[in-house]
Chains A and B, each alone.
Chain A
Amino acid sequence: MRFPYRRFRVQLFDGGPPSEIYRPIVPLVVHGPMGSALVHPLLDCGADYTILPQSVATAVGIELDVNRPGTIGGIEGGSLITYPGDAELEVSDHIQICRWQTTVRFVAGNNMLLGHLGCLEFFTATLNHFARNFELEPNAGYPGLG
């Protein structure tokens, strides 16, 4: 599956005028017992977990296991409490569809990352910044292909 990078206008640190930057954003459908939601998380090969907002879990009826909290941290030194929830995730480039069951870590706030557990463990990712696209191909870890 091939996806285009998403264009953002940002202020870089060079003091110049705003310029464009490209990020690997993946259209992701989150399926739950009460419905489905389309979100656009960042593909993050440095993230251990797949992280989505609790508001998304609420929207589709995914129940969180509050007895199994986990703390995640990032480069900014902050930390967030996450709770696991069972979800069915789906990505598609309108040619191929991949849909799998997994556990997602849900957080209060706005963070959305597709990390190793829950996503990249199932795919081989190839990022081509020059061509402004990236690819996700199911690997041997993808359910049904192993």
Chain B
Amino acid sequence: MNQHQQLPDRQIVGEEYSGLWIAWDDEGIRIVASGKTYEEAREQALASGAQFPGLEFVPPLDRAFVGGV
């Protein structure tokens, strides 16, 4: 069985979101908002109609992400 078939068709997180917070729609498939802060992205997502957006910070493009601070 091809396990890739189980994956949802989720939008790739593009370079344009580097260093920003992004907000996913209620299905977690599409990015509906972005902002420099958690609050900004969340407010934009709620204003766009999302009921329970998922928030995520995208590490800056020019730095490899290793989970450190």
Contacts and interface: CB of A to CB of B under 8 A. Distances in A.
A131 B42 contact: no
A66 to B, nearest CB: 19
Contact of B54 (A4, A11, A38, A113): A38
Contacts, number: 93
A126 B26 CA distance: 26
A70 to B, nearest CB: 12
Given A38-B52, A53-B38, A55-B37, A8 B69 contact: no
Interface of A: 2, 4, 6-11, 13, 18, 20, 23, 25, 27, 36-40, 42, 44, 46-47, 53, 55-56, 59, 72-76, 78-80, 107, 110-113, 128, 131-133
Given A37-B42, A38-B53, A78-B69, 20 more contacts: A4-B10, A8-B58, A9-B14, A11-B61, A11-B62, A18-B15, A23-B65, A39-B54, A40-B24, A40-B55, A42-B67, A55-B39, A56-B38, A73-B68, A75-B66, A79-B69, A80-B69, A111-B57, A111-B69, A133-B6
